[in-house]
Amino acid sequence: MSKKTQVFAANLYKLSPPPHSLQSGIGVSSQLMIDFRSDTVTRPTPGMLEAMMKAPVGDDVFGEDPTINQLESMSAELFGMEAAIFCPSGTMTNQIAIKCHTQPGDEVICEKLSHIYQYEGGGIAFNSGASVRLIDGDRGRITAAQVRENINPDDVHKPVSTLVSLENTGNRGGGSCYNFSDIQEIKEVCLQNKMKLHLDGARLFNALVAKNETCKQYGEVFDSISICLSKGLGTPVGSVLIGTRDTIKKARRIRKIFGGGMRQAGYLAAAGIYALENHVARLADDHRHAQQIKTALSGKDFVGEILPVETNIVIFEVKGRYTAASLAALLKEQGIYVMAISPKQIRIVVHLDIRPEDVQRTIDTINTL
Mean residue pLDDT of the chain comes to: 93
The proportion of the chain whose per-residue pLDDT surpasses 90, expressed as a percent, equals 91
Mean pLDDT of 213-233: 97
Please choose, from the candidates 308, 283, 288, the residue with its C-alpha nearest in 3D space to the C-alpha of residue 298. 308
Residue 80 clears pLDDT 60, i.e. is over it:
yes
DSSP, residue by residue, 68-124: HHHHHHHHHHHHT-SEEEEES-HHHHHHHHHHHH--TTEEEEEETT-HHHHSSTTHH
What pLDDT is attached to residue 23? 43
CA dist., res. 75 & res. 233, Å (int)? 14
Q: What is the DSSP letter of 152?
A: P
CA dist., res. 166 & res. 270, Å (int)? 28
Residue 256 clears pLDDT 60, i.e. is over it:
yes
Contact status, residue 275 vs residue 103, Cβ threshold 8 Å: no
CA dist., res. 120 & res. 109, Å (int)? 15
Residue 325 clears pLDDT 60, i.e. is over it:
yes
Contact status, residue 63 vs residue 69, Cβ threshold 8 Å: yes
Please choose, from the candidates 99, 93, 92, 103, the residue with its C-alpha nearest in 3D space to the C-alpha of residue 161. 103
Neighbouring CB atoms inside 10 A of 17's CB total 12
What pLDDT is attached to residue 117? 98
Pairing of strands 160-167, 106-111: parallel
What pLDDT is attached to residue 2? 56
CA dist., res. 230 & res. 11, Å (int)? 22
What pLDDT is attached to residue 4? 53
The SS3 assignment for 243 reads strand
Residue 6 clears pLDDT 90, i.e. is over it:
no
What pLDDT is attached to residue 225? 98
What pLDDT is attached to residue 299? 87
| 45 preceded by a cis bond (ω within 30 of 0) | no
DSSP, residue by residue, 317-342: EE-TT--HHHHHHHHHHTTEE-EEEE
Name the burial class of residue 341, with classes exposed (0-12), middle (13-18) and buried (19+) by CB atoms within 10 angstroms of its CB.
middle
Residue 9 clears pLDDT 70, i.e. is over it:
no
- End-to-end distance of the chain based on CA atoms, in angstroms? 49
Mean pLDDT of 239-252: 98
CA dist., res. 139 & res. 158, Å (int)? 28
What pLDDT is attached to residue 223? 98
Task: Give the pLDDT band of residue 26 (cuts 50, 70, 90).
Answer: very low
pLDDT tens-digit series, residues 85-96: 999 999 999 999
pLDDT tens-digit series, residues 135-187: 999 999 999 999 999 999 999 999 999 999 999 999 999 999 999 999 999 99
Task: Give the pLDDT band of residue 29 (cuts 50, 70, 90).
Answer: very low
Neighbouring CB atoms inside 10 A of 148's CB total 15
What pLDDT is attached to residue 15? 46
CA dist., res. 53 & res. 85, Å (int)? 22
Task: Give the pLDDT band of residue 11 (cuts 50, 70, 90).
Answer: low
CA distances from 211 to 81, 284, 289 (A): 21, 11, 17
Out of 25-34, 230-239, 296-305, least confident range = 25-34
pLDDT tens-digit series, residues 267-307: 999 999 999 999 999 999 999 999 999 999 998 999 999 99
Task: Give the pLDDT band of residue 244 (cuts 50, 70, 90).
Answer: very high
Mean pLDDT of 352-360: 97
- The torsion angles phi and psi of 63, rounded to 5 degrees, stand at 75, 20
Helix (H) or strand (E) holding 15: helix 3-15
CA dist., res. 173 & res. 118, Å (int)? 13
Neighbouring CB atoms inside 10 A of 298's CB total 10
